[in-house]
Amino acid sequence: MSEIGAKNIALLIDADNVDPRGINAVLTVLAELGQVNIRRAYGNWAKDALKRWGDITNRYGIRPHQQFDLTRGKNATDMAMSIDAIDLLYQGKVDGFGIMSSDSDFTPLVTRLRQDGLPVYCFGDAKTPEALRTACTRFIDIAKLMKGDEKGPAGKEDTGIDDELIDLLGGAWKASSRDDDGFAKLQEVGQIAGNRSSFDVRNYGFKRLSELVAAIDRFELKRGPDNQMYVRRLR
């Protein structure tokens, strides 16, 4: 994607809630959507826990936003981050969002942003509540994303592929247009699966859907004469 005409993406970070070591991998993923021109991290920077973000904000051009804890036990960061996101939405200059947080309090925000047709990629940890995961266009586990970048595609025993994923892909295959031999375009299967769930292949240690499907012995892949990948379910 050329910089001229590239879509404008905003990355908003709940610095209290996520691991700063994943920022490089997160920015790489968001490059799928466009140029990440808006990069903001929110938190109370007086806290020792946020010291790890110090060098990273400078290195990656992230603008720190100070948010004091106004009331004990209440996180004002969430409110400040949500207000800024809605401001950006109504300015009409942002084409998509990245949200780094594992806090389910952001679920209404993500839902609202998606109602305007904007993609919202969420990045959190393994304990992120299901409500936030499913609200996002894509939810990506930061730890698994970093592991995948370091080691490449995982072996099948390390992927976490389960019956729920197989059923999701199988249902998407069944809903796709298939030829007489039962093959459907892998791209169409992926689009249908993506509409039904916020799953992302990187959560399973792969970088491409074709690699993930090839690791599941219930599916068969082939490359067609049009150079596209096709898939059919075997059982």
Is the pLDDT at 218 greater than 80? The verdict is yes
Whether 191 and 101 share a structural domain: no
Query: How far is it, in rounded angstroms, from Cα 103 to Cα 148?
Result: 23
Residues 144 and 53 in one domain: yes
Is the domain of 102 the same as that of 185? no
- Spell out the residues 6+ positions from residue 177 whose beta carbon is closer than 8 angstroms to its own: 184, 185, 188
Number of domains in the chain: 2
Q: Is residue 133 a part of any domain in this protein?
A: yes
**CATH code at 228?**
3.30.420.610
Express each pLDDT in 5-46 by its tens digit.
579 999 999 998 888 888 988 998 998 889 999 999 998 887
Residue 125 and residue 193 in one domain: no
- The answer as to whether 198 is a domain residue is yes
**Cβ–Cβ under 8 Å, residues 16 and 104:** no
In a domain, 83, yes or no: yes
pTM equals 0.75
Q: pLDDT tens digit string along 48-104?
A: 778 888 778 888 899 998 877 655 544 678 888 999 999 999 999 899 999 999 999
131 and 228 belong to one structural domain: no
Contacts of 125 (CB under 8 A, 6+ apart): 18, 19, 102, 141, 142, 143
Residue numbers of the domain that contains 26: 8-151
Does 171 share its domain with 139?
Answer: no
Q: Over 141-190, what HEC string results?
A: EHHHHHHHHHHCCCCHHHCCCCHHHHHHHHHHHHHCCECCCCCEEHHHHH
Q: Contact, 204 vs 212, CB < 8 A?
A: yes
d(CA 36, CA 56): 16
Beta carbons within 8 Å of 134's beta carbon, 6+ residues apart: 197, 198
Is 3 a domain residue? Answer: no
Are 86 and 189 within one domain? no
DSSP letter at 196 equals H
Boundary residue ending a domain (99, 122, 151) = 151
Residues 50 and 13 in one domain: yes
Shared-domain flag, residues 41 and 96: yes
Inter-residue contact 148 to 207 (CB < 8 Å): yes
In a domain, 52, yes or no: yes
Is residue 2 assigned to a domain? no
Task: Identify whether residues 160 and 145 lie together within a single domain.
Answer: no
Please report which confidence band the pLDDT of residue 156 belongs to, taking 50, 70 and 90 as the band edges.
very low
Considering only CA atoms, which of 135, 142, 138 is closest in space to residue 113?
Answer: 135
Pair 16, 107 in one domain? yes
Q: CA-to-CA distance for 57 and 51, rounded, in angstroms?
A: 10
Residue finishing a domain among 151, 170, 196: 151
Q: What CATH number has the domain bearing residue 93?
A: 3.40.50.1010
pLDDT score for 155: 45
Residues 90 and 161 in one domain: no
Which amino acid, residue 150?
E
Final residue in a domain of this structure, among 132, 151, 170 = 151
Residue 1 located in a structural domain: no
